[in-house]
Amino acid sequence: MAMTGVLRPGHAQIRVLDLEEGVRHYRDILGLVETGRDAQGRVYFKCWDERDHNSFILRQADCAGLDFFGFKVLDTATLNKLDADLQAYGVKTERIPAGDMLETGERVRFEIPSGHLIELYAEKTSVGNGCGLVNPVAWTADSERGIAPVRLDHALLYGPNVAAVQKLFTEVLGFYLVERVLTPDGAGNVAIWLSCGHKVHDIAFAEYPEPGKLHHCSFLLETWEEVLRAGDIMSVNKTPVDIGPTRHGVTRGCTIYAWDPSGNRFETFMGGYQPYPDYKEALTWTFDNFGQGLDYPQRKLHETFLTVVS
């Protein structure tokens, strides 16, 4: 499948209450690779199999949550076109110069109707995954440390105006709707899962009265056994687990939700099916069956899923 336009999630910057405690969690337990620290005190990480310099950035602050979520686009011409398209649609955009984030080019930042800051960028230095480009090895020491996900996969964000968010992502940014949960009256969507490529979701949103909230950032593992191993690692390290290991009905991904020391939820997951953009009919869950969509075996709409965000 040709990939143009918005390619994939590229980075998430989140706030933590204690930077070094956050570093210990994301580096030693989750197993991300620390790739740098900048003059603002931010700490940069990547997953071991990612080639670009960074995908997950920690910033110390007084409250937890998400600063912004960024998507990599094909090239600079695409970045400029999407910036123009956003402005023509009525979205105010801001250009953040190259170098504001380590090893990252110019970014186009804009606020979406749910109150989240979304970014697009075309350039980020490729540092490789350590396996080499000629006769590459299959794994490295980084792939054996901690939970060791292969990539930052997606985020679920909570905020108001999900219908307007869906319209913006599908009509301007080229995403398509993969799955949805209907509102109780069936007239709208209370939650949506959107893809910009061949993944079952690149970003998801759920209706919530407070703007700009983070439900979770998700990190991909390759097997169900690795998800179970992630649960073992969480238990050994006394990481607070929210839900799982279990399987979602929505996306069919196999998952654990847990919290970092600042109360930001993160997900370790694997699986899900692979949709194509010509799948014109999104899979639909009725609100009364949301519990099966969240936790397929237990068919339970866990209270924390609806109420705990950062």
Nearer to Fe ion, 218 or 262 (CB): 218
With beta carbons less than 8 A apart as the criterion, state whether 256 and 234 touch: yes
154 annotated active-site: yes
Does position 179 bind Fe ion by CB under 5 A? no
The footprint of Fe ion on residues 234-273 (CB under 5 A) is 267
CA atoms within 13 A on the CB side of 56: 30
Kindly indicate which of the ranges 47-55, 217-225, 232-240, 283-291 contains the residues binding Fe ion, using the contact rule CB under 5 A.
Answer: 217-225
Does position 207 bind Fe ion by CB under 5 A? no
Q: Per the structure block, which two tokens stand in for 276?
A: 């194509």
Kindly indicate which of the ranges 130-138, 183-191, 211-219, 220-228 contains the residues binding Fe ion, using the contact rule CB under 5 A.
Answer: 211-219
Nearer to Fe ion, 106 or 202 (CB): 202
Does position 114 bind Fe ion by CB under 5 A? no
Kindly indicate which of the ranges 126-134, 174-182, 210-218, 235-243 contains the residues binding Fe ion, using the contact rule CB under 5 A.
Answer: 210-218
> Measured from the CB of residue 223, what is the shortest distance to Fe ion in angstroms?
17
Residue with tokens 């709208």: 188
Smallest CA-to-CA distance from 152 within 38, 53, 283 is with 53
Nearer to Fe ion, 110 or 205 (CB): 205
Smallest CA-to-CA distance from 149 within 222, 204, 203 is with 222
198 annotated active-site: no
Question: For the stretch 78-110, what's the b/e string if a residue is b when 16 or more beta carbons lie within 10 angstroms of its beta carbon?
Answer: bbeebbebbeeeebebeebeeeebbbbbbbbbb
279 annotated active-site: no
Q: How far is it, in rounded angstroms, from Cα 76 to Cα 215?
A: 31
Q: Per the structure block, which two tokens stand in for 62?
A: 């007084």
Does position 202 bind Fe ion by CB under 5 A? no
Nearer to Fe ion, 173 or 220 (CB): 220
Nearer to Fe ion, 79 or 181 (CB): 181
25 annotated active-site: no
Parallel, antiparallel or unpaired: strands 43-46 and 33-37: antiparallel
Residue nearest to Fe ion (CB): 218
Query: Among positive and negative, which fits the CA dihedral 174, 176, 182, 186?
Result: positive
Does position 218 bind Fe ion by CB under 5 A? yes
Name the site residues for Fe ion (rule: CB under 5 A): 218, 267
Give catalytic residue positions: 154, 201, 216, 248, 257, 267
